[in-house]
Structure 1
């Protein structure tokens, strides 16, 4: 059989596994809360792997290795910032948010939590938050479909449209039938595929080298990739060479974005109890660290791997983002190589499915349920959520038919948009009793607007996350202090949430619903 045939077999195996998980999740989904948040019974391993896989996307397997290959270790600042941010998110937000969402009227989406947290009777906070989510994530979904089409073009030489539709159809199918449980478990499997591939590929490439120790010196003094003048890249191992302080600060600031990413923090709300955040933290951050190391060594080993044999070359000769895929093709039997190539597909689909479900939840839970006078049955709500998944996917597909820089460019600052709009608000919700509705709205809107304006007009100065996060924090604090304090009930719930979180530090086996009722009655 040809290499392409083996690749197709591998892809079919992978797609069938994802659909099987979707069907299994369908059999476990009876209630609306099951569909939206897995009835809050997600175990920490699945939550951690799901959060990581839905976060990293194709950047981890293609963008980061390519950047490190071309520029050197100075590209690691973003990875360091993300690693610190992920740890801080699991440490400071995850347990508190799980406890607080239980106290705050059993909130199941981020906009509903914010509304319940400050007791906003106007519904403005919830509506604005949901509109921000719907707008940015619709374009994110479109970007995932574009990536799927490009993946099939590069891997099989197939048609962009066919590849886009295949990726979109399978992702929509398992999200449609299985909801949050399907998304979480497929993400966990996809995260394990990404992890295994990022460990196996560089290890096998290292073993294939004539002299493995060359990886520590080769790039700085020998030609490779884009360097053909006989001196290599002398600053390859220097993390500060040619990088301004503003660039380092901006790259590290990517970590701030974690506090406000709806598709990540929703995993915290689905944990069985706040105590599981500790286990999730070690699993999630450990997975992320090892994956980043795998991506780093893929680039480092690649500088020698593609230089010692003139008969092999990187397919992408501009950004060199295919070094991971090219290594897999060269080193393994086509079937194994095809399974390795599914790691990139897994990264694309895990992110896209999470975004589809978050947008669907916002449409139904945060907008539809506000306007209807009579709440429909559980079955109707589930079917409406499924319909919303398809509707968002169709819009995303229409935008992806003719991909443009405008669509793909939005993805670049959407992380900053969510981070600045929701990040300061999330931290204040967890740790500041004085937060009120006016301050929450002011901070959220300011963060989104500053990121949008700065990213379009001043992005070359410093990453828009920095001014956006600072401006949102100042607006949130300033407006909260200049306006009336929140109602007494808000302060009581704040204290109840803090106390509930403390309960699980002393005894991890406590039933959270019973503990929440006990805290409220105390």
Structure 2
């Protein structure tokens, strides 16, 4: 039996398991709340692994190792910023968001939370947030499909488009029918598989290289800047520009506060207090996984320099090639499946959020009344529409995974991040302030990100986040009017967080 056959058998087993989980979830999905939020019944470990797997995508196994392979540890500032951002998000956003979305008329999406939290009867805020979700998530889902095409092309010599179609169809199938529960449970399996692969590949490669002294000596000779986190300060670069470059890279962490596919995991927790346990599990998983990705790139630098006959045409495939070199084909197949896991877990979560934006936040607010089954059917139609549009964008195989992800990440972080934080911590935020800030943040990312001189100088999430925050505060101060219901709900949320007291509506 050939190596390729062994690997394809392993991947087929993995894909079949994902479909089985999707079917299991399908049998337990009865209404739109189940389809979009799994009835708010996620255990801490499930929520943590699901958030981590849906967050990291192919970026963790492909783009991050590739960037570090090319440029050294200076690229690790992205991972550092993301880890800090994830911890802050779990610490300061998760418990309050879980409580407030239940207190505020059981909001099950981020756009509906904004509307219900701020009592916006015009629906402009909810519609605007939904349009932003659909716009940026289409790019994000497309990045996953690009990663899928490259995966099969580099691993098996498949045609890029064939690989794209296989992953798109399988992901669409279990998401279409399993809904949020299906996406979440597959995320857990995928997160564990990713973790195991990211630990195993660098360890085995390091053993092949030899001792730590041998490794450090070789990498210092091959690429001396590779182990320097502050390499941007070297040479003739002014210290201010170097510091700005590091800050710009680490600023990825700001994006966590506004990522809808991560925030919905917080909303789906059983109780606000579960966020503490989930934080420890999720951030621990993230630290070890990121270290594995970084280590894979560094040992790859040494290994391929010592073995020039081993071909590495695309640095973003360093993880894939090392796994194929050092593992039995069947085991390598499961390691390769970890890449699919990273890609598919993110795509499924994003498709569910897009579906909720189409159904819960655009269709339902028009006043149309549907039966629970029709709502779920409409939700599945939304998943299909977004997947088709994303696939059309992914037909351009020259697209960079990191570029697509960074643009979408910045868009959500700048548009939603400040509004989420202000909603949870400032009573006087108004719907007009939130809308003005949100549009300002999204527009800044679109403009700044498409002007090369600005994009190269500073990651667009930074100006977008800051301008959103400033505009939202200024407009809110100018338009604020006391609202007894907002004050009551805000106080109920704080009471539940501080005293773990259940919310009881005033008669």
- Offset from partner CA, 1:258-292 (integer Å, 9 cap, x none): 00000000100000000110011001100000001
User: Which secondary structure state, in structure 1, belongs to the residue aligned with residue 107 of structure 2?
Assistant: coil
Looking at structure 2, the residues matched to 14 and 483 of structure 1 have their Cα atoms a distance apart, in angstroms, of 54
The gaps in structure 2 that reach 5 residues or longer are: 234-241
Who is 1:140 aligned against? 140
Is contact 1:447-1:471 (8 Å) kept?
yes
CA distance in 1, matches of 2:200, 2:400: 36
Q: Is the Cα contact below 8 Å between 1:436 and 1:486 reproduced in 2?
A: no
| Structure 1 pair 63–406 and aligned structure 2 pair: CA distance change class (3 A) | closer
Q: Give the TM-score of the pair, scaled to structure 1.
A: 0.92
Is the 1:49–1:284 contact (alpha carbons within 8 Å) kept by the matching residues of 2?
yes
Where do residues 334-353 of structure 1 align in structure 2 (5 Å cutoff)?
334-353=329-348
Which 10-residue stretch deviates more, 398-407 or 143-152? Answer: 398-407
Instruction: Give runs of aligned pairs for residues 467-506 of structure 1, distance below 5 A.
Output: 467-504=463-500
Shift of 1:130: 0.3
Q: Could you say if the C-alpha distance between residues 466 and 444 of structure 1 is closer, same or farther in structure 2, counting changes exceeding 3 Å?
A: same
* 1:453 and 2:435 aligned: no
The whole-number CA distance in structure 1 between the counterparts of 2:418 and 2:308 is 51
User: Once the two structures are superposed, what CA deviation does each residue of 1:93-132 show, in whole Å capped at 9, x if it has no partner?
Assistant: 0000000001110000000000011000101000000000
- How far off is 1:242 after superposition? 2.4
SS of residue paired to 2:455: coil
Q: How far is the alpha carbon of 1:332 from its aligned partner?
A: 0.7
207-216 vs 254-263, which deviates more? 207-216
CA deviation map 1:210-243 (0-9, x unaligned): 334322232122xxxxxxxxxx322222211225
Is 2:272 aligned against 1:277?
no
Structure 2 residue 22 is the aligned partner of structure 1 residue 28: no
Cα offsets for 1:180-203 (capped at 9, x unmatched)? 000001011111111000001111
Are 2:6 and 2:329, in contact at CA under 8 Å, matched by a contact in 1?
yes
| Cα contact 1:95–1:268 (8 A) shared by 2 | yes
Matched-pair contact (CA < 8 Å) for 1:436–1:480: yes
Q: Distance in 1 between matches of 2:295 and 2:159?
A: 32
* Contact 1:437-1:486 at 8 Å conserved across structures: no
Match of 2:239 in 1: none
Q: Which residue of 1 aligns with 2:420?
A: 426
Q: Give, in whole Å, the separation in 2 of the partners of 1:245 and 1:235.
A: 17
Kept in 1: contact 2:31–2:373 (CA 8 A): yes
Following the alignment from structure 1 to structure 2, what is the Cα–Cα distance between the partners of residues 310 and 355?
A: 40
Aligned position for 2:328: 333
Residue 77 to residue 410, structure 1, CA distance change in 2 (3 Å):
closer
1:36 shift after superposition: 0.7
Q: CA deviation at 1:393?
A: 1.4
Does the residue aligned with 1:516 lie in a helix, a strand or coil?
coil
Cα distance in 2 for residues equivalent to 1:408 and 1:308? 28
Q: Secondary structure at the match of 2:227?
A: coil
Give runs of aligned pairs for residues 188-267 of structure 1, distance below 5 A.
188-221=188-221, 232-243=222-233, 244-267=242-265
- CA shift at 1:486, angstroms? 4.5
Q: Does 1:355 align with 2:325?
A: no
Give the Cα separation in 2 of the matches to 1:521 and 1:501: 18
* Cα shift at 1:10: 1.1
Answering whether residue 108 of structure 2 is matched by residue 108 of structure 1, we say yes
Residue in 1 that maps onto 2:237: none
The CA RMSD over aligned residues, in Å, is 1.7
Q: Are the equivalent residues in 2 in contact too, given 1:215–1:303 (CA < 8 A)?
A: no
1:397: Cα distance to partner? 2.0
| Mapped pair 1:314 → 2:312 | yes
Distance 1:494 1:461, change over 3 A: same
Range 74-83 or range 233-242, more displaced: 233-242
Judged with a 3 Å threshold, the aligned counterparts in structure 2 of structure 1 residues 237 and 411 are, in CA distance, closer, same or farther, namely closer
Alpha-carbon separation, structure 2, partners of 1:161 and 1:354: 22
1:99 match: secondary structure: helix
Structure 1: segments with no counterpart, 5+ residues: 222-231, 505-509
1-side partners of 2:299 and 2:11: how far apart? 27
Equivalent residue, structure 2, for 1:80 = 80
CA, structure 1 residues 322+276, in 2 after alignment: closer, same or farther (shift >3 Å)?
same
Give the SS at the match of 1:100: helix
Q: CA deviation at 1:84?
A: 0.2
How many residue pairs get aligned? The number is: 497
CA contact (8 A) 2:55 2:262 kept: yes
Aligned residue number for residue 298 of structure 1: 296
2:432 aligned with 1:438, yes or no?
yes
CA distance in 1, matches of 2:334, 2:399: 31
Which string of whole-angstrom CA distances, capped at 9 and with x for unpartnered residues, describes residues 392-448 of structure 1?
212222332345659985543211110011000000001001111111111101111
Query: Could you say which structure has the higher helix fraction?
Result: 2
Distance 2:401 2:279 in 1: 33
CA distance in 2, matches of 1:191, 1:406: 23
3-state DSSP of counterpart to 1:198: helix
For 2:155, the equivalent position in structure 1 comes to 155
**TM superposition score normalised by structure 2:** 0.95
Q: Which residue of 2 aligns with 1:93?
A: 93
CA distance in 1, matches of 2:465, 2:380: 34
